[in-house]
Amino acid sequence: MSAPALHTAPGAEAANLYVPKLVRIRKIIRETHDVNTLQLEFVDPAHAASFTYKTGQFGEFSIFGVGEATFNISSSPNWEGFFECCFRKVGVVTTALAKMKEGDIIGFRGPYGNSYDLEGMHGKDLIFAAGGIGFPPIRCLVHRVLEERDKFGAVVIVHGARTHRDLVYQREMDEWTRRRDIHMIKTVDPGGDPENWDGEVGFVPTVLEERVPWILEREGKGASNALAFTCGPPVMTKFVIAALGRMGVGPDQVVMTLENKMKCAVGKCGRCNIGNTYVCLEGPIFTAAQVQAMPADQ
Amino acid sequence: MKLAGTIRPQGLWALVDHLTGQGVRVVAPTLIDGLCQFGPVDSADQVVKDYLLPQNTFKEFLFPKEERVFTWLKREDGSFVVDQPSRDFPETVILGGRPCDAAAIGVSLRSVFSGDKFEHADPLFLERFERTTVVSVSCDRPDLSCFCTTMGLGPDDPTGSDVLITATGLDGELVVEVGSPKGEKFAQRLGSHLVTGQPETELRERRSQAGAEARKKFVRVFDIEHVKSFLDNPDNFDDEMFARLGTKCVSCGVCTFECPTCHCFDFKDLGGTEGGERVKVWDSCQFPVFTVHATGHQPRPDQWQRYRNRFLCKFKIYEDVFDNLGCTGCGRCVRDCPVHVDITSYAMQANKKQQLIQVTP
């Protein structure tokens, strides 16, 4: 463990919105061969004390000397003492981040963006459909829902990945599979299933359409009472929305969290806009109806 | 704007020397590498007096091309010291800015970096802005690329200027108008060079006449009344004009770097993990890497789509998001494009198409 890191006077720091706060990597959880979860805690107790965030918000995570990357805060805001992010090793920053060790210090700015409307979800039947590294931005909401499970209707989770080795949060999925008040459906793309695979084989939209309607029919209050949450590769979410539409769950009942490239996260660097929508300011959470009304610049 | 009085050019030049002597940074049109550009000057003789529009804008003195945001130093025990550079920005007078740049930088660009509409304010820009006085000089003529009058401004428009100086053509007379406390302070500094007490009605008449004469000389004048409604209709996002007009764009980004309202930037880390600095550097929506996701997904794969974004930013997005004009008609992107991509032809065609839609039953 490192000694406490120093930082500049709080007043000066607060004034410059681009300066990250120091956070220590408290724990690294290896989710898959290329996906890691980081549990983070603020170095300065004053920062920890004043830090709050809402479910679905995101942050800018820095490795000094390498750069910044944007990730959803994948933990529940009710967890105390730390928060989490989850990333796949794909770019320069995430590759460097994957080499970090517990106790190392990185930078954090945030939280930014809007959040899920939890109260609006009360009494609804909830469908979560995510693919690959698209699951973490949904996972924070799943945990948040499970903390107040009785306030919601049926809960169905469809979580897919290319292969079983790419499924993140395996330990949590095992736990959710054992629960009687959650339908946990895991699936892998054809060819990604090992021997003795106990999940589904097929793409997320296909599995969703095959498995979910009868669950909703049996335990839910019909398609009009459903809300769906989806995140994943653009091609997956497109077909998820179409599949949901055929099930009677319209685009205004589908909530997406967008993953546009960002730098500043505060509406100034000009990078994340889709038409006149700055994803960092108005999003990242939109209904599919809102996203469909945006230009095709996505 | 409030009429402050008149001065002669030599009074203005004397003030330049006076200000620099007092440690005020004076930025004015000057020759840099043989080109007339805004740059810091030490004395009045470095100022280019007969110019139309410097090649760069003066935005780089408020939103620098490269600016240190913070530094870090890793200690032996693994802890970090993060430090912010002092924000003791110099008092600056921008002398000889043009009305198009003043409106673009003093109002539009400021609206992006301010926290007026959104909660996040960029103190690096705003603190520089607080210490900067924009002293604009009305244009007496446009060139073929200027189109500020079309954008609702003009060669003598006061928007965004703390001081506006207009030559009346009467024996070197310069009319001085002030529009802010910073402008008042500048007028006071003119001291005895500022002549006051002339009959105000006649002076205002001469000054308006000069502006009107300059307006008459504009040739790039067109109607933009319907452009916004054309762009507001999502069906027009894939209109044929965007690929047709934008395919030749070579993605050099000149239009964005020379634009007074372009605000895009990136962060770069200089140095290494052990110690270094993060800098905020200009970036451009014309580069493919600008929007590409880490996964390789590219929202704007074709160059014409990137120029379409630029056109939308100027004629729709700026207005929708920041409540301000995205283009003030300085004409730089038209003038200096190596392949003649012309934002005014986009505007003209969008306007025409919308007019046709409206009259077609």
Prediction ipTM score: 0.90
Q: Is the pLDDT score of A13 beyond 70?
A: no
In chain B, whose CA is at the least distance from the CA of A104? B78
| A261 in contact with chain B, both atoms CB, cutoff 8 A | yes
What are the backbone angles phi and psi of residue B70, rounded to the nearest 5°? -165, 165
Note whether A108 and A124 are same-domain residues. Answer: no
pLDDT in tens, B254-310: 999 999 999 999 999 999 999 999 999 999 999 999 999 887 889 999 999 999 999
- Domain membership of residue B52 (yes or no) is yes
Beta strands in chain A (DSSP E): 21-30, 35-42, 58-63, 67-72, 83-88, 105-112, 125-131, 155-161, 183-188, 200-201, 226-231, 254-257, 273-274, 277-278, 285-287
| B280 in contact with chain A, both atoms CB, cutoff 8 A | yes
Q: Which two tokens stand for residue B140?
A: 């007496």
Question: Nearest by CB to B79, which of A3, A13, A268?
Answer: A3
- Is residue B134 a contact partner of residue B161, using CB atoms and an 8 Å limit? yes
CA distances from B251 to A16, B108, B177 (A): 32, 24, 41
- All residues of chain A having their beta carbon less than 8 Å from the beta carbon of residue B110 are none
Note whether B113 and B199 are same-domain residues. Answer: yes
- Domain membership of residue B325 (yes or no) is yes
State residue B103's pLDDT score: 98
Note whether A92 and A180 are same-domain residues. Answer: no
Note whether A91 and A180 are same-domain residues. Answer: no
Note whether B47 and B149 are same-domain residues. Answer: yes
Final residue of a structural domain among A95, A112, A129: A112
| Per-residue b or e along B170-198, where b marks 16 or more CB atoms closer than 10 Å to that residue's CB | eeebbbbbbbbebbeebbebbeebbbeee
Query: With bands split at pLDDT 50, 70 and 90, how would you rate the model's confidence at B319?
Result: very high
Q: Is the pLDDT score of A5 beyond 70?
A: no
Q: Is the pLDDT score of A4 beyond 70?
A: no
- The CA dihedral of A254, A260, A263, A266, to the nearest 10 degrees, is -30
- CA-based nearest distance A233→chain B, Å: 9
- In A196-225, the residues whose Cβ lies within 8 Å of chain B are none
Sheet holding B265-271, edge to edge: B80-83, B66-74, B275-282, B265-271
- All residues of chain A having their beta carbon less than 8 Å from the beta carbon of residue B238 are 296
Note whether A162 and A242 are same-domain residues. Answer: yes
Cβ contact, residue pair B283, A269, below 8 Å: yes
In chain A, whose CA is at the least distance from the CA of B295? A90
- Is residue A297 a contact partner of residue B299, using CB atoms and an 8 Å limit? yes
Cβ contact, residue pair B291, A261, below 8 Å: yes
For A130-149, what is the mean pLDDT? 96
Note whether A40 and A129 are same-domain residues. Answer: no
Question: Nearest by CB to A295, which of B121, B237, B294?
Answer: B237
- Domain membership of residue A209 (yes or no) is yes
- Domain membership of residue A271 (yes or no) is no
Report the relative pairing of strands B174-178 and B80-83 from DSSP bridges: unpaired
State residue B115's pLDDT score: 82
| Sign of the torsion angle spanned by Cα atoms A168, A61, A259, B249 | negative
- Domain membership of residue B80 (yes or no) is no
CATH number at residue A86: 2.40.30.10
Note whether B197 and B262 are same-domain residues. Answer: no
Note whether A96 and A143 are same-domain residues. Answer: no
Cα gap B104→B196, rounded to integer Å = 31
- Domain membership of residue A292 (yes or no) is no
Cβ contact, residue pair B291, A271, below 8 Å: yes
- Domain membership of residue B36 (yes or no) is yes
Q: Is the pLDDT score of B76 beyond 80?
A: yes
Note whether A234 and A136 are same-domain residues. Answer: yes
Final residue of a structural domain among B183, B216, B249: B216
State residue A2's pLDDT score: 39
- Domain membership of residue A203 (yes or no) is yes
Cα gap B51→B175, rounded to integer Å = 19
CA distances from B356 to A242, A267, B236, B347, B352 (A): 36, 35, 13, 14, 6
State residue A259's pLDDT score: 85
- Domain membership of residue A212 (yes or no) is yes
Cα gap B123→B130, rounded to integer Å = 10
The closest alpha carbon to B331, from B188, B198, B147, belongs to B147
* Domain encompassing residue A154: 119-257
State residue A194's pLDDT score: 87
| Residue at token pair 């992107």 | B333
Axis crossing angle, helix B181-189 with helix B9-21, rounded to the nearest 10: 100
Final residue of a structural domain among B164, B184, B216: B216
Question: Nearest by CB to A267, which of B70, B78, B118?
Answer: B118
Note whether B296 and B162 are same-domain residues. Answer: no
Cα gap A127→A145, rounded to integer Å = 12
- Domain membership of residue B71 (yes or no) is no
Cβ contact, residue pair A17, B263, below 8 Å: no
- Count of domains for chain A: 2
What secondary structure does DSSP assign to A165-211, as a single string?
Answer: GG-S-HHHHHHHHH-TT-EEEEEE-TT---TT--SEES-HHHHHHHH
| Sign of the torsion angle spanned by Cα atoms A20, B280, B127, A7 | positive
* Domain encompassing residue B180: 2-65+85-216
Final residue of a structural domain among A57, A86, A112: A112
Note whether A152 and A229 are same-domain residues. Answer: yes
| Residue at token pair 């940074």 | B25
pLDDT in tens, B1-12: 999 999 999 999
- Count of domains for chain B: 2
- Domain membership of residue A150 (yes or no) is yes
Cβ contact, residue pair A65, B276, below 8 Å: yes
| B126 in contact with chain A, both atoms CB, cutoff 8 A | no
- Domain membership of residue B72 (yes or no) is no
Which residues are B292's β-sheet partners?
none
For B55-76, what is the mean pLDDT? 96
| B78 in contact with chain A, both atoms CB, cutoff 8 A | yes
Q: Which two tokens stand for residue B62?
A: 């408020």
Sequence-distant (6+) residues with CB within 8 A of A192 are A161, A162, A163, A164, A165, A166, A201
- Domain membership of residue A291 (yes or no) is no
State residue A11's pLDDT score: 43
Note whether B117 and B252 are same-domain residues. Answer: no
Length of chain B equals: 361
Note whether B44 and B185 are same-domain residues. Answer: yes
Cα gap A138→B100, rounded to integer Å = 47
- All residues of chain A having their beta carbon less than 8 Å from the beta carbon of residue B69 are 16, 18-19
Cβ contact, residue pair B123, A266, below 8 Å: no
Cα gap B116→B33, rounded to integer Å = 38
User: Which of A13, A90, A276, A290 to probe the B interface (max B CBs under 10 A)?
Assistant: A276
User: How large is the C-alpha radius of gyration of chain A?
Assistant: 19
Note whether B340 and B234 are same-domain residues. Answer: yes
Q: Which two tokens stand for residue B359?
A: 């009259």
Note whether A190 and A153 are same-domain residues. Answer: yes
- In A35-94, the residues whose Cβ lies within 8 Å of chain B are 43, 62-69, 90-91, 94
Q: Which secondary-structure segment (H or E) carries A282?
A: helix A279-282
Query: With bands split at pLDDT 50, 70 and 90, how would you rate the model's confidence at B251?
Result: very high
- Is residue A230 a contact partner of residue A241, using CB atoms and an 8 Å limit? yes
In chain A, whose CA is at the least distance from the CA of B269? A65
- Is residue A109 a contact partner of residue A20, using CB atoms and an 8 Å limit? yes
Note whether B111 and B174 are same-domain residues. Answer: yes
Note whether B169 and B264 are same-domain residues. Answer: no
Question: Nearest by CB to A90, which of B265, B267, B295?
Answer: B295
Final residue of a structural domain among B152, B186, B216: B216
Final residue of a structural domain among A257, A274, A291: A257
Q: Which two tokens stand for residue B147?
A: 């189109």
B134 burial type by CB count under 10 A (0-12 exposed, 13-18 middle, 19+ buried): buried
- All residues of chain B having their beta carbon less than 8 Å from the beta carbon of residue A276 are 312, 316-317, 320-321
Note whether B131 and B265 are same-domain residues. Answer: no
Helix (H, G, I), strand (E, B) or coil at B95: strand
Q: Is the pLDDT score of A293 beyond 70?
A: yes
In chain A, whose CA is at the least distance from the CA of B75? A5
Question: Nearest by CB to B84, which of A19, A264, A293?
Answer: A19
Note whether B163 and B267 are same-domain residues. Answer: no
- Domain membership of residue A88 (yes or no) is yes
Cα gap B96→A258, rounded to integer Å = 45
Can you say how many angstroms the Cα of residue B59 is from the centroid of all Cα atoms in its chain? 6
Cβ contact, residue pair A67, B268, below 8 Å: yes
pLDDT in tens, B170-193: 889 999 999 999 999 999 999 999
- Domain membership of residue B245 (yes or no) is yes
User: Which of B66, B67, B70 to probe the A interface (max A CBs under 10 A)?
Assistant: B70
- All residues of chain A having their beta carbon less than 8 Å from the beta carbon of residue B274 are 65
pLDDT in tens, A243-267: 999 999 999 999 999 988 999 999 9
What secondary structure does DSSP assign to B1-55, as a single string?
Answer: -EEEEEE-HHHHHHHHHHHHHTT-EEEEEEEETTEEEEEEESSGGGB--S-S--S
Cβ contact, residue pair B77, A3, below 8 Å: yes
Rounded to two decimals, what is the model's pTM? 0.93
Cα gap A267→B114, rounded to integer Å = 11
Provide the mean pLDDT of chain B: 95
Note whether A69 and A152 are same-domain residues. Answer: no
Q: Which amino acid, one-letter code, is at A148?
A: E
Question: Nearest by CB to A65, which of B267, B271, B285?
Answer: B271
In chain B, whose CA is at the least distance from the CA of A69? B294
Note whether B176 and B244 are same-domain residues. Answer: no
Note whether A47 and A135 are same-domain residues. Answer: no
CATH number at residue A199: 3.40.50.80
Q: Which two tokens stand for residue B7?
A: 């001065």
| Sign of the torsion angle spanned by Cα atoms A97, A101, A107, A111 | positive
State residue A298's pLDDT score: 76
pLDDT in tens, A234-245: 899 999 999 999
The closest alpha carbon to B26, from A148, B18, A39, B342, belongs to B18
Alpha helices, DSSP H, located in A18-128: 45-50, 92-98
Cβ contact, residue pair B120, A267, below 8 Å: yes
State residue A220's pLDDT score: 84
Cβ contact, residue pair B82, A7, below 8 Å: yes
Helix (H, G, I), strand (E, B) or coil at B277: strand
Note whether A159 and A243 are same-domain residues. Answer: yes
